[in-house]
Structure 1
Amino acid sequence: MPRTGRQGISPIFLGIVAVTAVSGWAVWTGFAEQAGFAVFLFVTGAWIVSLCLHEYAHARTALHSGDLSVEDKGYLTLNPLKYTHALLSIVLPVIFVIMGGIGLPGGAVYIERGRITGRWKHSLISAAGPLTNVLFAVVCTAPFWLDALDGVPPAFRYALAFLAMLQVTAAILNSVPIPGLDGYGVIEPWLSYRIRRQVEPVAPFGLIAVFGILWIPEVNIAFFDAIDALLRGLGVSDFETYCGLDTYRFWQEFWGEQDPRCTVPG
């Protein structure tokens, strides 16, 4: 019997990459009749790709730390359907993006921690996911802080700005030391056994708690003010991220709710 973890990259993942590439080309060239729909496909596809690589980073780090079971579970194929919580890892984060433009992290792959020795290894496994989002943020913002935007179409620039915002929010939110998120996974190996046992029952609700807290207006405003300030430091303006979200929500055009300042030719 072949081992599922050694079947190479999943066709499902390759299909998502293909959709992302084609829609990105459509945004760049203005080929799509509706630029907003192409931006929607491009950003959503790129976001799902980043989520898959986020989970892959956890699994790959766990493999090199001693958990060989991640191969048999298919985590190394980048197939989103192989993850322990496909709903938490892929579906809910995409819904969060559509609803509020928030790059909330998904659920982690199941790592057999008992196979791994050493607290630093456990911390690194948890940190690998957010570090992947950091890398994506660097790539998305590179044209901005390198001042290499000459010739880049507005729609593509807006899409990159919005995608960068998603990656930055995902990296920051997932680094918060709240049970159930990777930030807590980084510090958990260094906590006492008593504290870990006390925290364990509430861990499944960490993601929901973060989403609920962000719905508090004062918290939401303060959080996104900090995100905007960070992005401005990387050369991405508030207007570009705003237009990225506005264009991404292509359905607003049919309702007459799209900001005319962000209108791009389709």
Structure 2
Amino acid sequence: MNITQTIEIIPAAVIGLTVHEFAHAFTAYKLGDNTAKEQGRVSLNPLKHIDWLGFFLIVIAGFGWAKPVLFNPDNLKKKHRDEILIAIAGPFSNFVLALLFLAIARGLYAAEFFQSTHLGLQVINLLIIWGVINFGLFVFNLIPLPPLDGSHLYLSYLKEINPTLMYNLYRYGTFALFAIIILQNQTSLTILPISNMVNSVSVFFLDLLAFN
């Protein structure tokens, strides 16, 4: 990334990751587990959620991570259902945040100043970029590969059916994810069509909001 892209991405990444992890923590707390609450994670303070290595990689490589929110399944009233709700809360928060950024951009686009000045159009463009980045977080985190949220969403019953397989998935899932991302970045292979999916979602909502 160049310096302009970095400046555009960092605020969206900080906001998106903070809201994402807050959503996990808040949902777990509301479903009866105090683990995240006691660790100070039910907070919109980015410093409670940012993992500095993950943040550094966002700056230099365009992808990274935040500190995972921990919860104790034994404290949940309906374990499988609540694990899925906690998992989906993060990506869903990014989806809502993306729509919010695009809605604000569309509102500003209706104002003459923002539509007719270079500065105004830059602000609108930045909000659209932030929206697309949060659509990216939404799509990426739904991949059913540990440690991403999609693994909890799709594989929550696997640990009872085949705990050994589940253990190995969580043990090696992060390495597999890194390998896939690096392979895709360095070759023309498309193993996970993340960009295509993000593009499709973004274009759909931009058309829906009548950006033309």
TM-score (norm. length: structure 1) = 0.62
Which of 197, 209, 218 aligns to 2:189? It is: 218
Partner of 1:60: 26
* 1:229 shift after superposition: 2.7
For 1:16-74, what per-residue CA distance to the aligned partner results, in whole angstroms no more than 9, with x for missing partners? xxxxxxxxxxxxxxxxxxxx76x855642342122112111111111111112322211
Q: How far apart are 1:174 and its partner, in Å?
A: 0.4
Q: Which runs of 5+ in 2 are unaligned?
A: 115-119
Q: Which runs of 4+ in 1 moved over 6 A?
A: none
CA RMSD of aligned residues (A): 3.1
Identical aligned residues as a percent: 20
Give the alignment partner of residue 112 of structure 1, picking from 66, 69, 72: 72
1 CA distance for matches of 2:36 and 2:158?
Answer: 25
Q: Give the letter aligned to residue 155 of structure 2.
A: E
For 1:77, what is the secondary structure of its paired residue?
Answer: coil
Q: Among residues 131, 135, 139, which one is paired with 2:100 in the alignment?
A: 139
Equivalent positions of 1:109-258 (< 5 A) are: 109-118=69-78, 119-143=80-104, 148=109, 150=111, 151-152=113-114, 153-215=120-182, 216=184, 217-219=188-190, 222-235=193-206
Aligned counterpart, 1:72: 38
Kept after mapping to 2: 8 A contact 1:101/1:166:
no
Count of aligned pairs? 195
Q: Is the 8 A contact 1:105 1:173 kept in 2?
A: no
CA distance in 2, matches of 1:234, 1:214: 26
Deviation at 1:199, TM superposition (A): 1.9
**TM norm structure 2:** 0.75
Unaligned ranges ≥5, structure 1: 1-35, 241-266
The CA deviation at 1:155 is 2.0
